[in-house]
Amino acid sequence: MFSFLFHKKVAELKKEMRETKEDLLNVSSYLDDLFSFLPIAVCDLNPSWVISNTNKSFEKLTGYTQVEIVGERLEKIFLEKEKIKGIQTELLNLKEIEIKNVELTLITREEKEVAVNVSFAVRRDARGNIVGFFVGITDISKLKKIQDETEQKIVQRTKELEKSRKALLNILEDTEEARRRAEEERKKTEVIIKNFVDGMLAFNKTKKLILINPKAEEFLKTKAAEVLGKDIRVLKKKNRRWAQLFKTAGEGMKEVFRKEMAISKSFFLEITTTIVESQGKENLILVILHDISREKLIEQMKSQFVSVAAHQLRTPLSIIKWSLSLLKEEKEFNREEKDLVLKAYQTNERMINLVNDLLNVARIEEGRFVYEPKIVEFSEIVESVYNSLKEYARQKKIEFKLEISEGKKIVKVDVEKISLAVKNLIENALKYTPEKGKVEVSVKERKRRHELVFSVRDTGVGIPKDQQERIFTKFFRGANVVRMQTEGTGLGLFITKNIIEAHGGKIWFKSQENKGTIFYFTLPLSF
């Protein structure tokens, strides 16, 4: 019985052992398969650092077949041979049981260098004795490449940054230089403004005074500290001169060109206002005060001289006129003698006209041009002048017309002066229109503005475009009419403008050279 049981037990044990062996074989082949297809290159080393086994990934990475490499020392496939030996010593001395992630250079069978990451682990038996080593090798060449590229990019970027830093530094230097230069300029300007012979004021957009130079302080009897930062409303109450300044320049501080301001009988200032636009910054209003007392004095003296000379000439010229008009009627004279007298008479007339013009100009300039206004019908003045010039127009074969619109045109004017203005304009039109031309005089009413408009249109030589702005200045004569050798003083329009403006009217013109001219003026109606 015992023996039966024993045999049975032995049979069971044998079966169990067989099964265990089979299991072990299965595990071993499983491990072999796993080792073989592991995606990381792995090799086994014996304790003497000799390769004893490799897997497929190892073959693929190194290019060595298992047959070729088994039996070789591990150093064979690495560039850093000494380092590999060092690792072996370390592991053998059991300083470490594993060493991970050592960056090394693998040398393949084709002698290509590949960057790899290698980990080492000690293999031991059940009693703890070293029986070999595992070595796992990972290809990091791609990673390295990316790393290198990234490093290169970083180097490149750093270089660029350095460049930008330098550029910035340069800009900073330039800015500093520009600031220094601007400061220098500012100082220079300040010196110039301080020592400027003219008075200078500057207002900002809100009409506050932001600059006043010493000359302006002197002219306006003021101290900078008292007026800087103040606006026009305050300034005009400062003293009489400030008040007068704003009256002359206008409180709106629009651009003004050379307006005179009489401080006293012998002290005159000329005011020029300019709007300065500075690169999108707020506008500055610059006011220049120029002392013209000396010019005024000379002008006065000149006017007085002209006035005296003209007066002295007047009496003899009247006597000559009177004598020549008597001689003109002389029946005894032959044709030649008559012609001579007539020429002398006409020349004398021109002299009288010139003397009268000079006297009028002198009176205007000295403020002695006295007006004696009367209520009159304006049309009558025009008709009378028109009639007096009809003969002249007929001689020049000029079609001469007058058109007066319906209705009364009552004005309060100095008849003599307005007649002179009307005469000057019509005479010019006739004078500067060649034979067979056309001159049309017209008087119309502008009811809404309660004024009349006088105009005289001609088909004459016109005024050269580039000279038109000087037309109302003294002694101006157009280059074209000078070439034509026409008679004239260049004073008529200056006098005419003064007369019209003194009556509260306006005068202007339109002209095209060789086509014709049209002069206009307005006068306020009285009723």
| Interacting residues with ligand ADP (CB under 6 A) | 424, 428-429, 432, 458, 460-463, 471, 476-478, 481, 488-494, 517
Helices and strands counted in the chain (H then E) = 15, 17
CB nearer to ligand ADP: give 272 or 356: 356
CB nearer to ligand ADP: give 215 or 423: 423
CB of 474 to ligand ADP, least distance (A): 8
Distance CA 459, CA 440 (A): 9
| Residue for token pair 């003209």 | 310
Element (H, E) at 305: helix 293-328
CB nearer to ligand ADP: give 338 or 470: 470
CB nearer to ligand ADP: give 432 or 454: 432
Q: Name which of 73, 75, 39 is nearest 55 in CA terms.
A: 39
Q: Is the dihedral of CA 220, 225, 229, 230 positive or negative?
A: negative
Element (H, E) at 288: strand 284-291
Distance CA 259, CA 273 (A): 9
Angle in degrees, 0-180, between the axes of helices 415-431 and 492-502, rounded to the nearest 10? 140
Give DSSP secondary structure letters for 129-140: -EEEEEEEEEE-
CB of 508 to ligand ADP, least distance (A): 13
CB nearer to ligand ADP: give 330 or 501: 501
Distance CA 120, CA 124 (A): 13
CB of 353 to ligand ADP, least distance (A): 9
CB nearer to ligand ADP: give 135 or 463: 463
Distance CA 488, CA 280 (A): 50
Buried b or exposed e, range 427-461, using 16+ CB within 10 angstroms: bbbbbbbeeebbbbbbbbbeeeeebbbbbbbbbbb
CB of 513 to ligand ADP, least distance (A): 9
Q: CA separation (Å) from 421 to 180, 292, 385, 414, 428?
A: 61, 30, 10, 11, 11
Distance CA 273, CA 201 (A): 9
CB nearer to ligand ADP: give 261 or 382: 382
Rounded to a whole number of angstroms, the CA Rg of the chain reads 58
CB nearer to ligand ADP: give 468 or 526: 468
CB of 352 to ligand ADP, least distance (A): 14
CB of 462 to ligand ADP, least distance (A): 6
CB nearer to ligand ADP: give 248 or 480: 480
CB of 325 to ligand ADP, least distance (A): 24
CB of 358 to ligand ADP, least distance (A): 12
CB of 461 to ligand ADP, least distance (A): 5
Q: Name which of 490, 494, 486, 507 is nearest 432 in CA terms.
A: 486
